[in-house]
């Protein structure tokens, strides 16, 4: 990971789940002085690391949104103007990813085409 100085005051969008790894990524970026925005689904468990660690506290913007909601995503991107996008949208369970083909296709679109910024 780049130095703490690199992240200071950078507008960073973390796109993806509110689960363990992405929650800690958001906390680390915030600790390094980044202005963190997050787009993701509701936390997948109750309780969740996202809620227990108060990850949304101090974020520039926290948008609970399905990545297929293009208009809401575009609005959030226009408002926050991220300089860096960290793509963490993924299906952690292989069996679920096979049954949710549309989600799989959308994740690949984001990976290969990038989110409109």
Q: What integer pLDDT is reported at residue 60 of this predicted model?
A: 85
Q: Which residue has the higher pLDDT, 6 or 96?
A: 6
- What predicted TM-score, i.e. pTM, was given to this entire model? 0.71
Q: What is the pLDDT of residue 12?
A: 92
Q: Number of structural domains, the chain?
A: 1
Measure the CA–CA gap between 48 and 22, rounded to whole angstroms. Answer: 12
- 45 backbone dihedrals φ, ψ, rounded to 5°: -135, 160
Convert the pLDDT of each residue in 29-57 to its tens digit.
Answer: 989 999 998 888 777 777 877 787 787 78
Whichever domain contains 72, its CATH number is 3.40.50.720
Domain of 103 in residue numbering reads as 4-113
């Amino acid at each position: 990971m780049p130095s703490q100085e690199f992240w200071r005051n950078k507008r960073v969008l973390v796109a993806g789940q509110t689960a363990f790894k992405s929650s800690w990524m958001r906390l680390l970026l915030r600790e390094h002085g980044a202005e963190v925005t997050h787009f993701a689904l509701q936390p997948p468990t109750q309780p969740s690391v996202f809620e227990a660690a108060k990850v949304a506290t101090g974020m520039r913007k926290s948008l609970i949104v399905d990545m297929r909601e293009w208009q809401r995503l575009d609005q959030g991107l226009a408002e926050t103007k991220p300089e860096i996008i960290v793509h963490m949208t993924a299906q952690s369970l292989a069996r679920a990813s096979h049954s949710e083909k549309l989600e799989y296709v959308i994740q690949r679109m984001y990976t290969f085409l990038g989110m409109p910024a």
